[in-house]
Chains A and B, each alone.
Chain A
Amino acid sequence: MSLRGYIITRALLAIPMILILVTVVFIIMRVMPGDPVRVMLRPGAPQEYVDEIRHSLGLDKPLFINLRGSSAVVTQSGVTLRDGPSAEEPEIPLDSPLAEGDVLQLTDRRTTEEGEWLRLYTADGADGWAPIEWFSIRINPLDSQYIDYVSALARLDFGESITPVTGRPVITDLKAKFPKTLELSIAGMTIAIIIGVAGGAFSAHKRGSPADYGIRLYGIIIYAIPVFWLGLMLQLFFGIYLGWLPVQGMIGTGLTPEPITGMLIVDSILRVQPASLLSALKHLTLPSITLGLYISGVFIRLTRANMLQMLRQDFVTAARARGIKERVVVYQYALKNAFIPILTMMGLQFAVLLSGAVLTETTFNWEGMGRFLVRRIELRDYPSIQSTIVFFALLVTAVSLIVDIVYARLDPRIRY
């Protein structure tokens, strides 16, 4: 298979994965117990407000298939809407009377002693109940929450916030936050790769020695330390006691460069602002070390396992037989060959990296996507929560796609 053919096949395979992930998010957010509107509003919110929010987010539609009917056409004159599903409820004043042929949105049906009643929304946004006999119902099975959700995502529509700024597109926030998370992730990943590859290779080289056990033990211990606590301890030591580094935020006040990429370090360089660059680097140091140490344990383990496998290969034996120094055999012959699988497996640790980033961002008030997610959960801004999680899902899929393609590019055997 050609590289292009492989890329196309692999990209097509990503589609079901994305679909499954967004469906999982949908199930968590809508189908599982826990009502989104309840999450958003505090107890005791007036029912009309609850209904209004529910309707504006399309949460009053059926979940997957709409067999209830999505709209109702008025079939006679003199149709009025009432406050509840009963002729005794007060009538709702309408801006313009309903005429034959008007199409109303249908959001609920209820059978009472007086027969079946429909809950309807007019084009002006007024809503009320009316008996089913006055209408003919149109059924559109695709008018459901799930289809709305998937088709919005297909159009890359991530919805709009409710709080703190109503109507602000969530994608605007995500665009601003993503580069910050990316910056932290790249820095953390770099530190983890340095520690992981060096430690893992040395550990494999000195297999069975105290150094090997020490490094492996470090790998296990560092993984058991909660990343946020590691961050707090580094803050306490380097930030508070020694006073070397700032413990909160991303850059000093007034130093933020005009955004180009959104990544503060890159922007500082592009705008040629040395003071900003220095400040950004200082702020990045502790969070990236925290994140880097956290994943370094996994990386050590991966590198060590791959290196041990590589050291058993024939070419290593051959190199040793030729009398090449052990150091050269290990660090040039074996490590070079182990590098591709190591990098691939590290790419697959991206999910762990993101989980760590969410906690690290919270610890350091780093204004990335993780902190955004946590803050929006505090504010109960449901559309932002859902979209951020979907965005994470897309990111994970994209990264695994890129990793596979890079791997195939580097190692042609994969394509067959």
Chain B
Amino acid sequence: MIDRPRTIIPGLGSFASWFARGARWYGAEWYITSAGAVILFIIIAVTILAPYIAPYDPTDFVGDPFIAPNSQFLMGTDKLGRDIFSRVVYGAQTIMMVAIFSAVLSSIVGVPVGLLSGFTGGKLDRALSLVMDSIYSFPGLILAIAMAAMLGPGIVNISIAIAVIYIPTYFRMVRGQVLSVKEELYVEAAESLGASAITILRSYVFPNVIPSVVVVFSLNISDAILTEAGLSFIGLGVPPPTPDWGFDLNAGRPYLPGGRWWLITFPGIMIAIVALGFSLLGEGLNEILNPRLREA
């Protein structure tokens, strides 16, 4: 019999044994989650330490245009002679800000509305579900494009545009969980003991929903990163000269036939790595926190 790791947060000295036990208990999911967590940790470090990592100012013209990667310019320079490595490092700040801000925004709206809808039921629930399902069925990127085009460029506006399209994801998940928890025996017991609706919601329903919210939050950030990159790729992101991966990709596109691969390679790899990190973390956590779903 293997001991199940008691805590998600390791004691300082016992990290190695904690990790090994987790790996034995959870298997592949443990490694998937860890890989995601490591990527996440690195990217957050890069975001915070950008001024110390980047050798140049991301908006300064520091060299000749179109220098191929070399020891001075690790990822080369762009058409204006800006250092791509510095832009990639600072670009992490832009995309992380938008992704996290939008995910927080959509969970703040989606989770309570989902709780309310699932818990009260009835006409309100049906109306809210219809609206949310309709938005959910709509191609998210296209909805975000419409909103971004109307709201205009800027970090806050883009975040709002992205936040709106992910509200239904939280709503549907939370509502579904509430509906199933409501049927549980312990909720019935609490009800018969005279617990108020607020108490039941707070003490019995909400704690059961949290693990799934964490999972959706992580997957949501991954999606939001891709959506942000997509929006700025088609010119609806943050205004230049702010370093932004999607925008830089699009700016490098015309020089592709000339074989200037470094303009488009590095920002793209970064988008993929960061999106992958959050999605691995979400997938892994899903298996660990919601073991019931394992067999599905």
Contacts and interface: CB of A to CB of B under 8 A. Distances in A.
Question: Main SS of the interface on chain B?
Answer: helix
A240 B152 CA distance: 35
A224 interface: yes
A65 interface: no
A16 B130 contact: yes
Interface in A218-232: 220-221, 223-229, 232
B149 A39 contact: yes
A20 interface: yes
A351 B139 contact: yes
Given A247-B256, A373-B142, A228 B135 contact: no
Contacts of B158: none
B151 A33 contact: yes
Given A220-B283, A226-B229, A305-B296, A355 B140 contact: yes
Given A236-B256, A354-B142, A373-B142, A224 B226 contact: yes
A296 interface: no
Contacts of A187: none
B45 interface: no
A207 B191 CA distance: 43
Nearest to B279: A224
B150 A39 contact: yes
Interface stretch (B13-21, B68-76, B231-239): B231-239
A32 interface: yes
Interface in B105-137: 130-131, 133-135, 137
Contacts of B256: 232, 235-236, 240, 247
B280 A220 contact: yes
Contact of B139 (A39, A309, A352): A352
Interface in A28-44: 28-29, 32-34, 36, 39
B140 A232 contact: no
Contacts of A233: 264-265, 268
B62 interface: no
A48 B80 CA distance: 40
B230 A228 contact: yes
A389 interface: yes
B26 interface: no
- The binding surface of chain A is classed by DSSP as helix
A238 interface: no
Interface stretch (A123-131, A158-166, A334-342, A392-400): A392-400
Interface residues of A, number: 53
Given A25-B146, A221-B276, A247-B256, A359 B234 contact: yes
Contacts of A21: 134-135, 137-138
A209 B117 CA distance: 42
Contact of A20 (B131, B142, B235): B131
Contact of A358 (B131, B142, B257): B142
Contacts of A363: 253
Contacts of A392: 138-139, 142
Nearest to B149: A377
A28 B139 contact: no
6 contacts: A16-B130, A225-B268, A226-B246, A232-B268, A354-B142, A355-B230
Interface of A: 16-17, 20-21, 24-25, 28-29, 32-34, 36, 39, 213, 220-221, 223-229, 232-233, 235-236, 240-241, 247, 305, 308-309, 351-352, 354-355, 358-359, 362-363, 370, 373-374, 377-378, 385, 389, 392-393, 396-397, 400
Listed from nearest, the 9 A-B pairs whose CB atoms lie closest are A229-B268, A34-B150, A355-B141, A224-B276, A224-B275, A20-B134, A354-B139, A351-B139, A355-B139
Given A377-B236, A389-B142, A400-B137, 5 more contacts: A39-B150, A247-B257, A355-B140, A396-B139, A397-B137
